[in-house]
A = this chain, B = another copy of it.
Amino acid sequence: MTAYKDLSVEELKSLKSELEKEFAEVKARNLKLDMSRGKPSQAQLDLSMGMMDVLSSKANLYCEEGVDCRNYGVLDGIREAKRLLSDMSEVPKENIVIFGNSSLNLMYDTVARSMTHGVMGSTPWCKLDKVKFLCPVPGYDRHFAITEHFGIEMINVPMTDEGPDMDMVEELVSSDESIKGIWCVPKYSNPQGITYSDRTVRRFARLKPAAKDFRIYWDNAYCIHHLYEDKQDYLIEILMACKQEGNPDMVYKFCSTSKVSFPGSGIAAIAASTANLEAIRKQMQIQTIGHDKLNQLRHARFYGNIHGMVQHMRKHAEILRPKFEAVLDCLEKELKGLEIGSWIRPRGGYFISFDSLEGCAKAIVAKAKEAGVVMTPAGATFPYGKDPKDSNIRIAPSFPTPEELAEAAKIFVLSVKLVSIDKILGEKNG
């Protein structure tokens, strides 16, 4: 393959007219394909259908505490749910509190609480002139939406293949007291699928923040969401790492079963130090009498334990793997060597991240849409929706069928090629 930049203007123009013909053909088919959302497919949801029967009217609805799960009681999660999610999170069960159906809601509440009540006795953030968060980019749009909603200034930190640029993180966190947090998806990151290296996690644990109420928001959304049996990323457990470095209170770790059982009907948890959890429970007992214990029990009974859950995740992987490979194979087959884009082959998670030539992402997404393929809006992976290079595109291969994905991937690479040729032609003419 010759890189597009090395083709002559004539060659590019002729290639363009070929590709335009191809594009017109697929466009004429009026397809409707969606690669925009990190949404499990129906086949994945079917894996958990047993959960609908596990708590029947004949079932024992008492949890291990001896409490009737149908009634009030047990503020911070039933024992069996704590065991399951603490194993999932690799933390002692004393360090976990179970919440409602969504870790996003839990992260929102965590920031909201810090705004009005500070962090373990610190000044409420709403009383400060300026609060800032570090945002490794590309990252998760809903994280950025939370901090933006609260008027928190977001600072981009570039991702490397080992995680966020830790030189920059260390420098900023240690020098600026207004920096109160950093959003991390440390394993199979959204959208790149990068897992933070041992060195990165150790450097996180050794941070010396200027702000004593600085917290690492460790959203371990894809902790057991591997695509392969034999190639799995390993992530150092951050709570223990922070404790070992004398920073036990510096991290909040989040997880949920949204992409294990049912999105929206799962259970979520926060893992943190005893001191952090004490502050959290103090607010929690004002906010609620307790979360849905029947749903906690449903999850605990269905999976049995972490081994059951890991088995279950293998079935998810079997469904997801061919979809990822369909997209990745298409990217490799069609784009390798053309130097008009780069991507990473993730070993887990829900996304593939594509970086186009600078200034092309929005145009590519728009082009794909012309032919009926919906992508996550370009820019969504950056704070304020602004990708300074306009190059990152998140691909979500989980929901469509493999056949739909093959179609969608083809349209995507066609769009990449066409937009890239225009850019290169523009430069050559300019």
Q: Please report A residues at the B interface, Cβ cutoff 8 Å.
A: 37, 39-40, 42, 45, 48-50, 52-53, 55-57, 59, 61, 68-73, 100-102, 104-105, 108-109, 112, 115-117, 124, 126-127, 142, 145-146, 149-150, 262-265, 283, 286-295
Contacts and interface: CB of A to CB of B under 8 A. Distances in A.
Given A149-B283, A265-B292, A290-B264, A45 B70 contact: yes
A56 B51 CA distance: 9
Contact of A55 (B39, B48, B52): B52
Given A52-B56, A108-B286, A264-B291, 6 more contacts: A42-B68, A42-B71, A49-B57, A112-B112, A115-B115, A263-B289
B262 A294 contact: yes
Q: How would you classify the secondary structure of chain A's contact residues: helix, strand, loop or mixed?
A: loop
Q: How many copies does the complex hold?
A: 2
B294 A265 contact: yes
Contacts of A265: 69-70, 292-295
Contacts of A105: 287-288
A142 B75 CA distance: 14
20 contacts: A39-B72, A45-B68, A45-B71, A50-B57, A52-B57, A69-B265, A72-B264, A100-B101, A102-B288, A102-B289, A105-B288, A112-B116, A115-B115, A263-B289, A264-B289, A264-B291, A264-B292, A264-B293, A264-B294, A295-B295
A59 B68 contact: no
A105 B290 CA distance: 9
Contacts of A263: 70-72, 289
The 6 closest A-B pairs by CB, nearest first: A126-B126, A49-B57, A265-B294, A108-B287, A70-B262, A45-B70
A229 to B, nearest CB: 26
| Residue with the highest number of chain B CB atoms closer than 10 Å, among A57, A101, A287, A294 | A287
Contacts of A126: 115-116, 124, 126-127
Contacts of A45: 68, 70-71
A336 B363 CA distance: 82
Contacts of A37: 72
Q: Counting chain B CB atoms within 10 Å of each CB, which of A56, A57, A100, A264 scores highest?
A: A264
A278 to B, nearest CB: 15
Nearest to A147: B286
Nearest to A74: B264
A250 B150 CA distance: 25
A304 B102 CA distance: 27
Contacts of A292: 100-101, 264-265, 292, 295
Given A286-B108, A292-B295, A56 B53 contact: yes
